[in-house]
Amino acid sequence: MCNSNNTTIYKPVSFSATVITELMIPSYSNFGGKIHGGIILSLMDKVAYVCAAKHAGNYCVTASIDAVDFLQPVEVGYLVSLMASVNYVGKTSLVVGIKVVSENIKTNEIFHTNTSYFTMVAKDENNQTIKVPGLILESREQVRRFLEARSRKELKSNYKQEAEKVVMPDHEVLWREMLSGERCTIAN
């Protein structure tokens, strides 16, 4: 499965699949008594790193995080579990899909908190990007995730190009027209 220079090796998704479970303690809460979004993000970054580094066999950095929508607030005293697996590999980058759930310990009710995708890039000891092993897909689900990740990558590149197409006219009158209906105003 492995050789020392990562040139032609492939690793199965199961090799690096990672679960982290953490108790939500009171110091993680915000003024509303719910868990800070930043705590969850930090745990997501941690599990993404573990999963990516295990697959890559190298140090990895976070290159990009897809939109993170918080579907449910997380309560103090709940257990949060983060399930991560490599969904896609490029040349030096890979995408880790993460599902986050919270659990009420007393009732065992499970809540889906969010799902997101982290793009991680492998680096060598000289801080240069380095090729990651290929991915062995072991189920129909894993094939679907790979194809969806590839599709998101293409959409992301189109979306960036579309956003950059916004033409900024020279005249302020036109800015006002373009912003009509928006909740903003241009300072004099």
Ligand X SMILES: CC(C)(COP(=O)(O)OP(=O)(O)OC[C@H]1O[C@@H](n2cnc3c(N)ncnc32)[C@H](O)[C@@H]1OP(=O)(O)O)[C@@H](O)C(=O)NCCC(=O)NCCS
**Shortest Cβ 175–ligand X spacing (Å):** 29
Q: Which of 132, 101, 138, 137 is nearest to 116 (CA)?
A: 101
Q: Which of 85, 93, 102, 114 binds ligand X (CB under 6 A)?
A: 93
Q: Pick the closer one to ligand X by CB: 29 or 62.
A: 62
Distance between CA 25 and CA 129 in Å, rounded?
A: 37
Distance between CA 5 and CA 1 in Å, rounded?
A: 12
Q: Are 79 and 21 in contact (CB under 8 A)?
A: yes
Could you say which residues in the range 154-183 bind ligand X, by CB under 6 A? none
| Binding span for ligand X by CB under 6 A among 57-65, 66-74, 99-107, 178-186 | 57-65
Distance between CA 137 and CA 141 in Å, rounded?
A: 9
Asked if residue 149 binds ligand X (CB under 6 A), the reply is no
Radius of gyration for the chain, computed over Cα atoms and rounded to the nearest angstrom: 21
Asked if residue 119 binds ligand X (CB under 6 A), the reply is yes
| Binding span for ligand X by CB under 6 A among 24-32, 90-98, 142-150, 159-167 | 90-98
The contact set with ligand X (CB under 6 A) reads: 61-64, 90-93, 119, 121, 129
